[in-house]
Structure 1
């Protein structure tokens, strides 16, 4: 039977070019390596090395199996390392929530660093409206969550301040709020607002609701599509609006008094009383490193 030890042996001989060099690399005797290869050849009824020359040369049969053998050996090595990490306290999985209208790029860069360090770690990544993810965090269905600051965070733990996002009211170029020039802020109440929220959220208690009429969505892409089609206006982060603003598909609404922009903090959240695992700690550090090196874009006009 072909075992992981056989694979390690064969790959060592191929890599080092001789039984003696492979034996030194594996810290075995040359006779033990030669005998193990010979026994395997007899068991498989295959000649794996041509011994007619000074050094053993892989046969066509061995060369045919090398790609698969290298892949299996690499996976086994990864499994060994992951088991070592688990025995050293690494959590078996991590569950991350990212509010759907928060810029995901810093988190994605941090996840790349996390995957490089712990490639065997299982990840669950959820994106949804803020109220949905905060509720999931309260129920401990998530380990970490990247979300906007707000009153609903009092019952969860804020473990890291990340960056500040500017929220701006936008509409399509042919929408009355844009077409008519600068408008009083109160005019927003008369036009439909497209809101990213969970279906169960009571909008009457949400202070971000400025309009008397709303349409609910649960994701950013659909919200952008609705607003670009002129079906309403929305308060959205500038980091997610840049392509739509630069192309002219959306405009920032101009107000006759005051500016169109509200700065909101973005936090990394965790359930209160929850322990921080090794993967979570590395993600937090990688996220902070990414933000420290990040060049923030100039706000769109």
Structure 2
């Protein structure tokens, strides 16, 4: 099979359109159609149902899509490995980080890494930990920050941070006078929460499962500045890491009655190729933790 034809096939399958795939590939639409026809002739199967102007994958097409993605990922890794050996390409770190850590924990680390290795390119993707796991497995990123206890079996993990999730409220909120907050008192309040898929929300879902309580959700947003403003104005309370409100005198953080601890890890695909740039970043972060 021709790798180029496989790339065209994957793009058409993902977009559901020969025309859209041709535009993204910067090719003429007939060239893409011809490549798919040649692939079908080589395999002696039909990959797409073609009806009017719509297409959909056949059973054989769905099976090939799974294998084609793996083949293309392996080919890209092999090419990168050879480029590194021959010194043809400067390194790139592709890392996915949840927004809370990306805004408050990683900036000094990323700047220090960039200062030490100015020739390495750093690409940072912001997403929830669930989405980051999917991106790792699909090869969209090389390293991701995930919650350790939810790691997929296909991933290698390197623990690097344990933090306590805190109840955050305005300094004049009635619960601000408490030393610790019970789940019952927390869930009785109007809540400002991250959307599903972020570790912040997974902590809440875990507490709900353990206690059987029902939440009162007033706002859902992944925008940390908005969460802090809503909480400051007294329209709800939330849970955040202590580092997020370190310079916010109008906000206070209180622990839960039973500490809610979060174990975070760097993760990458088992058996996948890690470039020298990515290995260097992992080693750099490990050195920072030991200091």
TM-score above 0.5, yes or no: yes
Instruction: Map residues 66-145 of structure 1 onto 2, 5 A cutoff.
Output: 87-88=86-87, 92-102=91-101, 107-116=106-115, 118-145=117-144
TM-score, with structure 1 as normaliser: 0.56
Is 1:169–2:172 an aligned residue pair?
no
> Which residue does the alignment assign to 1:196?
194
Task: Name the Cα RMSD after superposition.
Answer: 3.5
Contact 2:148 2:157 in 1 (8 A): no
Moved more, 232-241 or 117-126: 117-126
> Which residue does the alignment assign to 1:232?
236
Instruction: Map residues 269-288 of structure 1 onto 2, 5 A cutoff.
Output: 269-288=267-286
> Which residue does the alignment assign to 2:25?
none
Q: Deviations over 1:128-160 (max 9, x none)?
A: 333333332233221111233332x23452431
TM-score, with structure 2 as normaliser: 0.57
Instruction: Map residues 31-46 of structure 1 onto 2, 5 A cutoff.
Output: none
> Which residue does the alignment assign to 1:16?
none
Q: Equivalents in 1 of 2:174, 2:121: separation in Å? A: 48
Per the alignment, in what secondary structure is the counterpart of residue 276 of structure 1?
A: coil
Q: Shift in Å at residue 236 of structure 1?
A: 0.9
Q: Shift in Å at residue 162 of structure 1?
A: 0.6
Q: Deviations over 1:232-286 (max 9, x none)?
A: 1111111222222xx1x1123477xx35x42221211113332111001110111
Per the alignment, in what secondary structure is the counterpart of residue 150 of structure 1?
A: helix
Contact 1:147 1:266 in 2 (8 A): yes
* Shift in CA distance, 278/238, structure 1 to aligned 2, threshold 3 Å: same
- Structure 2 stretches lacking a partner, 5+ long: 1-82
> Which residue does the alignment assign to 1:251?
252
Aligned length: 203
Contact 1:170 1:251 in 2 (8 A): yes
Is 1:157–2:155 an aligned residue pair?
yes
Q: Equivalents in 2 of 1:269, 1:105: separation in Å? A: 20
Q: Equivalents in 2 of 1:102, 1:200: separation in Å? A: 11
Per the alignment, in what secondary structure is the counterpart of residue 270 of structure 2?
A: coil
> Which residue does the alignment assign to 1:186?
184
Larger Rg: 1
- Structure 1 stretches lacking a partner, 5+ long: 1-83, 294-301
Moved more, 227-236 or 214-223: 214-223
